[in-house]
Amino acid sequence: MSSVATETAPQLVVDRLTKLFGDRLAVDEVSLDIDRGRILGLLGPNGAGKSTTMSMICGLVAPDSGSVTVGGERLDHSGRDVRRRIGLVPQEIALYPELTSRENVTFFGGLQGLSGRRLRERIDFVLDEVQLGPRAADAVATLSGGMKRRLNVAVALTHEPDLLVLDEPTVGVDPQSRLALLDAVRRAADRGAAVLLASHQMYEVEAVCDHVAVMDHGRVLRTGTVADLLHGIPSRAEVVVEGAEPAVGRSRSSVVEVESSAAAGKATVTLLSQDHAALVDELTRLLATFSEQGRRVLEIRKSEPSLEQLFFDLTGRTLRD
Amino acid sequence: MWWIVRKELRCLLGDVRASVILVALPVVFMAVIGLATSRVFDGASDMTTISVVVVDADASDLSERIVNAVTKRAEFAVRRFDGLADAERELAARGCDAVLVIGPEFSARVAELDPGDVLDTSSGPLAGGLEALDVEVRAQPSLRQTGAIVEGLAFGEVLRECAAHVARENRLTAWFLRNREEDGEVEEDGPPASAPSTASGPSLYQQIVPSYTVLFAFFIVTSMARSFLAERELHTLDRIRVSPLSVTSVLLGKTIPFVGISLFQCTLLLAIGGLLFGMSFGSAPHLLVPVLLSTSFAACGLGLLTAAWVRTDSQVSAYGTLVVLTMGAVSGCMVPREFLPATMQTVSLCVPHAWALEGFHEVLVSSTPRADVVLRCSLAQSAFGIGFLCLGFLLLSRRWSVTRTSGRQTEQTTAG
């Protein structure tokens, strides 16, 4: 089991969850845990098993084996109290279009056992939280896509869940709405919720998540803090020059790897190193060499270690669907 | 659960399409069908009488009595023709629905009968029906059922007159009859105890209003199925399933509003039937309550079962409508049940609509409605409702359940 270390007991413990659909192994012994106040980003290509894992965590899909524990209580078919601890934001906008924003929040808050003054307070709070207070009386059908997304999250926050599960909550929203949404998620975590956030947006995972788990083919391939995961991934510089493949020889620095290739009258020299300064030195030397040789440099590309790079390294670049 | 009830009511009351289907459409149907068929079904209309031409080739006192008896029947508009050829021409020209021919051997054949033959019409000479007495009914080829009705009613009149005639001709029965007359037990001019009522049948809207009320009450099946389908398509079902509510609470919460809506719909349609079309509520209108309750319950039970069965809106339109219309047609919602063949009337009891119609008929048409009949109809409908509900509940709860530990998960809609 991967550990997201904190001092307190994890709010969510997923232990070797496995799910088969027919002969297809959708989720293969996935183990995760999230502490109170922490956000775990779940990354993976389409079909990796993220949504199935989240469905099992929410009790929507029965696992073939393994267990889910929320706040120390094991989730099973009779676990109504456990389900009360969970707030789900489905990938789709799960709202009633004919009802107003307030009516939607009221309904789902009521289902979670809230009522009276407490319910009214929570409704006002979550609508303000996602900046929809002024549109509370408007039917959902009349809201913009971004507003619906925000309301989709607000509904899940109404009953102050201990575990907030968000499946790609920012799909199709503008940067302003995305910012508002992620701020609301961050604040929910700050108030003590454990958050599981599945997303394809690497930058938003980097920005908001404390920990990241990368899934593919139903398995968790890597997990840890963003810094942990990026540690060991080399910085990369590419120089494209005219003409045949140059004889660049070996790097002067032992910490910089040099590769070269040529095609269609252009040559590409790639430098890889975990030592940023050494990489810059080597790049400077290479450019000087090309200048002496009179070779025209067409392009210089440089990239720092990123989750996207890690993602591609772990899951490949082949299309999945 | 009551949150779901409130939400459903809020959504349903705002759904104009459902309101049109459940209330406006049946009223329009009643009005249109009433206008279109009043000349066929209305008891006060001339079209409900069968035009019969009588040819009396026997020309005896007995045959005259037969003609008079047939003429008195409210169902027949009788004209007398002297010659068979003229009558056949009238029939061919569609000037009448049927021709009743009393053959020249009629009185002679009656004279051969003894009281036993009259008492036992299944095995004696009368087993052959009217033909055995040289009486024949000819009808338009397109009106075979009408011909059968004329033949049946005419046979009854012939039998009644012949029985009296044969009894008087027989010594023993004549003696017995004389003694009864002396004791004053028989009123000569009074109507026979078994004489059919000459009153016109139930008014047109006594039949149309309950029929279409029942038919459209069951159209709530499509609204219910769409409601469940919408929860799936909107993905709100996932949120509901993640809530602490049990499957039972969710299903009850979604079903109860429809029972209420159905009750309101049926009551409104009957009220409109009374106010707009002059339908009578009978002598015991309180007996409508169990019929209405059980009809709504059975309709919503079928709605839940359909909701558990269908997967797409097209399936709701196809299966839901097909099931409701077929059940309605089989049970006699579209034509009066009395018009259905006897076999069909029996078969139709396999659908709840038929029991609803029987219940409504007892309350609205019968001069003295019997509570036990109404109760039986209501219980039968309730049994259908319970069966549908249980089956629907089993299917849905099985699909929504998270207790299974292996196999396919049919409700799974997305995969990460």
| Mean pLDDT score of chain B | 79
| Closest-approach residue (CA) in chain A for B244 | A80
CA-wise closest residue to A52 among B376, B58, B413, B155: B413
Distances (CA, A) of A35 to A3, A20, A40, A194, B242: 10, 28, 9, 6, 21
Instruction: Count Cβ atoms within 10 A of the Cβ of residue A39 and give its class: 0-12 exposed, 13-18 middle, 19 or more buried.
Output: buried
Tell me which of A283 and B33 has the higher pLDDT: A283
CB contact under 8 A, B11 and A46: no
Residue B215 phi/psi, 5° resolution?
Answer: -55, -50
- The 3-state secondary structure of A96-137, one letter per residue: CCCCEHHHHHHHHHHHCCCCHHHHHHHHHHHHHHCCCHHHCC
CB contact under 8 A, A94 and B11: no
- Directed axis angle between helix A145-157 and helix A175-190, to 10°? 10
CA-wise closest residue to B309 among B372, B226, B246: B226
Say what the pLDDT of residue B405 is: 40
Element (H, E) at A14: strand A12-21
| Closest-approach residue (CA) in chain A for B412 | A61
Tell me how many residue pairs between chain A and chain B have CB atoms under 8 A apart: 118
Distances (CA, A) of B353 to B24, B331, B379: 20, 6, 13
**Tens of pLDDT, residues B159-190:** 888 877 777 766 666 666 666 666 554 444 43
CA B148 to chain centre: 20
Mutation for testing the B interface, residue in A67, A107, A111 having most B CBs under 10 Å = A111
Q: Would you give the DSSP letter of residue B99?
A: E
Nearest to B243 among A98, A111, A167 (CB): A111
> What angle is formed at CA B69 by the lines to CA B63 and CA B72, rounded to 5 degrees?
145
| Closest-approach residue (CA) in chain A for B16 | A98
CB contact under 8 A, A62 and B405: yes
Distances (CA, A) of B241 to A61, A86, A292, B246: 10, 11, 70, 8
CB contact under 8 A, A99 and B409: no
Contact between residue A165 and residue A58 where contact means Cβ atoms under 8 Å apart:
yes
CA A270 to CA A285: how far, in whole Å? 13
CA B415 to CA A198: how far, in whole Å? 12
CB contact under 8 A, B416 and A48: yes
CB contact under 8 A, A96 and B402: no
How do beta strands A235-242 and A266-273 pair? Answer: antiparallel
> Got the DSSP string for A170-234?
TTT--HHHHHHHHHHHHHHHHTT-EEEEE-S-HHHHHHH-SEEEEEETTEEEEEEEHHHHHTTPP
CB contact under 8 A, B414 and A91: yes
Exposed e or buried b per residue across A276-298, where buried means at least 16 C-beta atoms within 10 angstroms of its C-beta: eebbbbbbebbeeebeeeebeee
Mutation for testing the A interface, residue in B226, B239, B246 having most A CBs under 10 Å = B239
CB contact under 8 A, A96 and B7: yes
Nearest to B244 among A26, A47, A84 (CB): A84
CB contact under 8 A, B14 and A21: no
Say yes or no to pLDDT of B198 above 70.
Answer: no
**A77 vs B contacts (CB less than 8 Å):** 401-403
CA B283 to CA B30: how far, in whole Å? 23
CB contact under 8 A, A21 and B7: no
Mean pLDDT calculated for residue range B347-364: 88
Nearest to A111 among B3, B238, B403 (CB): B3
The helix/strand/coil state of B204 is helix
Instruction: Count Cβ atoms within 10 A of the Cβ of residue B261 and give its class: 0-12 exposed, 13-18 middle, 19 or more buried.
Output: buried
CA-wise closest residue to A151 among A114, A186, A126, A175: A126
Contact between residue B56 and residue B63 where contact means Cβ atoms under 8 Å apart:
yes
Say what the pLDDT of residue A1 is: 43
Tell me which of A268 and B24 has the higher pLDDT: A268
Say yes or no to pLDDT of B108 above 90.
Answer: no
Q: Would you give the DSSP letter of residue B410?
A: T
One-letter amino acid of B305: L
Contact between residue B106 and residue B134 where contact means Cβ atoms under 8 Å apart:
yes
Per-residue pLDDT in tens (0 to 9) along chain A, 321 residues: 444 434 467 889 999 999 998 888 889 999 999 999 999 999 888 888 898 999 999 988 888 999 999 988 888 766 677 888 899 999 899 999 999 999 999 999 999 988 889 999 999 999 999 888 899 899 999 999 889 999 999 999 999 999 999 998 888 888 888 888 899 999 999 998 999 999 888 888 888 999 999 888 889 888 888 888 877 777 888 889 887 777 766 655 666 777 777 777 888 888 888 787 888 888 888 888 888 888 888 999 888 777 777 777 777 766 666
| Closest-approach residue (CA) in chain A for B236 | A94
Say what the pLDDT of residue A9 is: 78
**A84 vs B contacts (CB less than 8 Å):** 243-244
Contact between residue A277 and residue A302 where contact means Cβ atoms under 8 Å apart:
no
CB contact under 8 A, A107 and B246: no
Interface of chain B toward chain A, CB-CB under 8 angstroms = 3-4, 6-7, 10-11, 14-15, 234-236, 238-246, 401-406, 408-409, 411-412, 414-416
| R_g over Cα of chain A | 24
Q: Would you give the DSSP letter of residue B57?
A: S
Instruction: Count Cβ atoms within 10 A of the Cβ of residue A51 and give its class: 0-12 exposed, 13-18 middle, 19 or more buried.
Output: buried
| Cβ atoms < 10 Å from Cβ of B281 | 16
Contact between residue A240 and residue A271 where contact means Cβ atoms under 8 Å apart:
no
**Tens of pLDDT, residues B253-275:** 989 999 998 999 889 888 888 88
CA-wise closest residue to B130 among B101, B170, B165: B101
CA B126 to CA B124: how far, in whole Å? 5
Q: Tokens standing for A96? A: 């009633």
Q: Tell me the CB-side half-sphere exposure of residue B289, using CA atoms within 13 A.
A: 4
Signed CA dihedral, A178, A180, A181, A186: sign only:
positive
Nearest to B3 among A58, A81, A107 (CB): A107
CB contact under 8 A, A107 and B415: no
CA-wise closest residue to A163 among A16, A281, A32, A65: A32
**Tens of pLDDT, residues B312-351:** 888 888 888 888 888 888 888 877 777 777 788 888 888 8
Tell me which of B55 and A47 has the higher pLDDT: B55
One-letter amino acid of B35: L
CA A280 to CA A252: how far, in whole Å? 12
| R_g over Cα of chain B | 29
CB contact under 8 A, B239 and A155: yes
Beta bridge partners of A299: A240
Q: Where are the beta strands (DSSP E) in B29-102?
A: 50-56, 76-81, 98-102
**Tens of pLDDT, residues B125-171:** 787 788 888 898 888 777 777 788 888 888 888 888 887 777 776 66
CB contact under 8 A, A52 and B412: yes
| Closest-approach residue (CA) in chain B for A79 | B244
CB contact under 8 A, A96 and B11: yes
> What angle is formed at CA B353 by the lines to CA B352 and CA B358, rounded to 5 degrees?
100
> What angle is formed at CA A235 by the lines to CA A232 and CA A240, rounded to 5 degrees?
145
**A92 vs B contacts (CB less than 8 Å):** 234-235, 414
Domains of chain B: residue spans and CATH: 2-41+205-415 (no CATH), 48-182 (3.40.190)
Mean pLDDT calculated for residue range B84-102: 87
Say what the pLDDT of residue A216 is: 87
CB contact under 8 A, A20 and B401: no
Exposed e or buried b per residue across A146-160, where buried means at least 16 C-beta atoms within 10 angstroms of its C-beta: bbbbbbbbbbbbbbb
Contact between residue A216 and residue A45 where contact means Cβ atoms under 8 Å apart:
yes
Nearest to A98 among B14, B241, B412 (CB): B14
Say what the pLDDT of residue B196 is: 36
Nearest to B403 among A77, A103, A198 (CB): A77
A291 to chain B nearest CA, in Å?
50
Mutation for testing the A interface, residue in B242, B248, B408 having most A CBs under 10 Å = B242
A103 to chain B nearest CA, in Å?
9
CB contact under 8 A, A20 and B406: yes
Q: Tokens standing for B267? A: 């009551």
